[in-house]
Amino acid sequence: MKRGIVVVIVIVAMGAMLLFAMQGRDKTPAAAGKQETTTSQPAGKSGPDTFDERVAAIKAETTEKYGENIEWLDSSRTDFEEERQLLRKHFAEEFDKAEAATKQRVILEIAKVDLNGDGWPELVWRIFHIFYHGLGTSGKLGISYHDENGRLVHVQHFPVTWTPIAIRSTDASPWKELIVGLKLYRWDGKHYSYVEEPLETLAEEKYFKVTRDSDGRYTVTVYDDGKNILDKFRKLVEPKVSFVNEEILRASVIYDNRIEPTVEYFDRKNKRMSRHYEIVLADRNDRVAYLTEDNRLVIRNMFNEKVYYKEVKRDFAPLPKEERRKAVLKVEWERPDVIVVQYLAGPERRVVTEEIVLD
């Protein structure tokens, strides 16, 4: 990214509560132009759950989670006129539609802060308008910068929840971290990325780790021999991870009320993920044997069927679809090019054992 002003955009969608707060606090030109330090306002009511109390509670929870060395951004609705005009010019078409539809002016809150420690202040700004309202308290955060011609170039946009924004310095990077909605975002060299924060480590071996994350999902982290991260993939259901060999990991997940797990493989050496397999009977090195929905036994390369693929059709016992796995009693690799298959054959369910040579 070229040296210039980086703009962090938070387009806050606050629902009906934010509209009420904006109308109650900023319904006159004088109020809208009043100099103040503020954050977005999810509610305008008084009592035990006022806006200021909610902000204080969020700040306390954030400080407890991320430590005392965080800084809170202050914003102004009147300062930084030059930058304000540039932003309005860049989003002129969008703002015009919003203001024409509602007869309410888009409110910009802007703060200046040096995010990357180079001595040049960046801009952090928010938008308030009913045009950006949505369900709940979600919003959108974006990263932009000025090029040499003074144009705003947007690097990224990603959704965030409503909250005051905090920043935190780190030894790992000159770029400060962003904390929004109790979620941590870290500069990765190109943009800010959400940092998964595991609540619990469920399994950990030399080449992988399985964690349960704060959003209720599960992350499998795969390592190289030096414990450097090769890849991460996420699952809605807790996966069971094991080894086929030192280079290939097996991840099994049982969805809903199914009996058989869905299996996929990760090749550490070539950094690639396989397709999903439903009824896996056996695996060895980079080959997997599985049963198809029409009762074909398939042996193939896990990652590329063009490398190796073989189908075996036998008179497997006719069982209900959800029980067809029971027709195959055993599949074992006797040698790299020979598998032994034992299965129930025909309606009478005869036990048959045979060797199958793999081409």
Which CA distances in Å does 255 have to 200, 259, 261? Answer: 21, 9, 7
Given a contact cutoff of 8 angstroms between Cβ atoms, the answer to whether 108 and 77 are in contact is yes
Give the pairing type, strands 240-243 and 229-235: unpaired
Shared domain for 52 and 158, answered yes or no, is yes
Does a structural domain hold residue 181?
yes
Q: Within 10 A of 8 (CB to CB), how many other CB atoms are there?
A: 23
Q: DSSP 3-state assignment of 33?
A: helix
Residue type, 7: V
Given a contact cutoff of 8 angstroms between Cβ atoms, the answer to whether 31 and 44 are in contact is no
Shared domain for 153 and 267, answered yes or no, is no
pLDDT at 138: 44
Cβ neighbours for 305, distance < 8 A, ≥ 6 positions apart: none
| Alpha-carbon gap, residue 328 to 245, rounded angstroms | 24
pLDDT at 353: 95
pLDDT at 2: 47
Q: DSSP 3-state assignment of 327?
A: helix
List residues bridging with 142 in a β-sheet: 9, 157
pLDDT at 23: 42
Range of the domain at 260: 197-276
Given a contact cutoff of 8 angstroms between Cβ atoms, the answer to whether 317 and 347 are in contact is yes
Most distant CA pair in the chain, distance = 89
Shared domain for 124 and 179, answered yes or no, is yes
Given a contact cutoff of 8 angstroms between Cβ atoms, the answer to whether 107 and 22 are in contact is yes
Centroid of chain to Cα 79: 35
Boundary-marking domain end, from 168, 194, 220 = 194
The helix or strand, by DSSP H or E, that contains position 272, with its residue range, turns out to be strand 272-273
Divide the 359 residues of the chain into consecutive groups of 10 and give the mean pLDDT of each group. Answer: 52 42 38 41 52 89 90 88 86 89 84 83 78 54 73 72 86 89 86 81 93 84 91 89 95 84 94 93 94 91 93 91 89 91 94 92
pLDDT at 133: 60
Shared domain for 205 and 146, answered yes or no, is no
pLDDT at 297: 93
Does a structural domain hold residue 295?
no
Shared domain for 35 and 183, answered yes or no, is yes
Q: DSSP 3-state assignment of 113?
A: strand
Shared domain for 248 and 154, answered yes or no, is no
| Alpha-carbon gap, residue 159 to 142, rounded angstroms | 9
Count Cα neighbours of 111 within 13 Å in the Cβ-side half-sphere.
Answer: 21
Shared domain for 75 and 203, answered yes or no, is no
Boundary-marking domain end, from 132, 164, 194 = 194
pLDDT at 36: 42
Work out the burial of residue 62: count CB atoms within 10 Å of its CB; fewer than 13 is exposed, 13-18 middle, 19 or more buried: buried
Shared domain for 77 and 218, answered yes or no, is no
Please give the tally of structural domains in the chain: 2
pLDDT at 250: 96
pLDDT at 144: 72
Does a structural domain hold residue 170?
yes
| Distance in Å from the first CA to the final CA of the chain | 53
Boundary-marking domain end, from 236, 252, 276 = 276
Give the pairing type, strands 248-253 and 240-243: antiparallel
Shared domain for 133 and 262, answered yes or no, is no
| Alpha-carbon gap, residue 151 to 20, rounded angstroms | 34
pLDDT at 266: 95
Shared domain for 12 and 109, answered yes or no, is yes
Helix spans in 11-151 (H): 15-26, 29-33, 51-66, 81-90, 92-102
| Alpha-carbon gap, residue 162 to 13, rounded angstroms | 8
pLDDT at 132: 65
Shared domain for 178 and 68, answered yes or no, is yes
pLDDT at 96: 93
Shared domain for 99 and 150, answered yes or no, is yes
Centroid of chain to Cα 317: 44
